Structure 1
């Protein structure tokens, strides 16, 4: 089977359908956290990286990273594994893009930690599979940061 690249309009349509905030997983997690009595801000633009959930008083920033867009394969199995998974004519472009995004995520985490924030990074697939565990992990971080653990 021959690879036929998508037209720019097709790519634009696909990309515009991908949500950056408010996905089902994120909403479900926020709902549990709210039921636990935790109050937070969503998509807090005053911090680097715009965390998905922020507990300002506790100084806890939560990122729910999409497995694909935030390079889980690259992080866990390295660039060779990512290269094998890329079935596109411009795989070099995409590998570079994912590598830069992983580096940016690491930089954001380090910057926040240097400023005294606790950073919790979760893979979206893990949150989806174990929603309660993810909520407990976040709750523990918030309680520990506020001294109420």
Structure 2
């Protein structure tokens, strides 16, 4: 009976994890909107359903959690339990990210990824710097950007 209870508890905990409108995403939206950029949110027609879409600039931004997308920073650590499950799940996320970015680029979109460590933790950047770097990238013709903590 304890196994069933543990599974239910894990399911509830997983269900509580937000996939959109997260604090990091809201911060990026606020910074870019204040800088005069206008965007669409979570466009389902695009591969990977990017967090922010800028049709005027042919650009999309993904705001990725370092744990869920296996970023090589201090915020990522493999869980100590159910190792095979987590390696498979996170590995699938990484592969889906790669495929979505590739398909977006093939369709003519420019792709930026803002990693959670750029916004929180000991390596975080100043919010103004994050907004400035994203604004500069949006106005440029650079095809990709990966913004991480320092």
TM-score (norm 2): 0.79
SS at match of 2:37: coil
Q: Deviations over 1:68-92 (max 9, x none)?
A: 111114xx6xxxx96xx3311x311
TM-score (norm 1): 0.79
Report the structure, 1 or 2, having the larger helix content.
1
For residue 108 of structure 1, what is the aligned residue in structure 2? Answer: 100
SS at match of 1:72: coil
Higher relative contact order, chain-length normalized (CA < 8 Å, sep 6+): 1
* 2:89 pairs with 1:93: no
Residues 72-83 of structure 1: pairs in structure 2 closer than 5 A: 72-73=71-72
Q: Deviations over 1:5-53 (max 9, x none)?
A: 9712211221121111111221121111111010001111121001111
Q: How far apart are residue 115 of structure 1 and its match? A: 1.1
Report the Cα distance in structure 1 between the residues aligned to 2:107 and 2:5, rounded to whole angstroms.
43
Unaligned runs of 5+ in 1: none
Unaligned runs of 5+ in 2: 142-150
Report the Cα distance in structure 2 between the residues aligned to 1:16 and 1:124, rounded to whole angstroms.
20
How many pairs does the alignment contain? 134
SS at match of 2:18: coil
Higher Cα Rg, which structure: 1
Q: How far apart are residue 93 of structure 1 and its match? A: 2.2
Structure 1 stretch displaced more, 22-31 or 130-139: 130-139
Report the Cα distance in structure 1 between the residues aligned to 2:90 and 2:15, rounded to whole angstroms.
19
Report the Cα distance in structure 2 between the residues aligned to 1:69 and 1:5, rounded to whole angstroms.
25
For residue 7 of structure 1, what is the aligned residue in structure 2? Answer: 6
For residue 139 of structure 2, what is the aligned residue in structure 1? Answer: 143
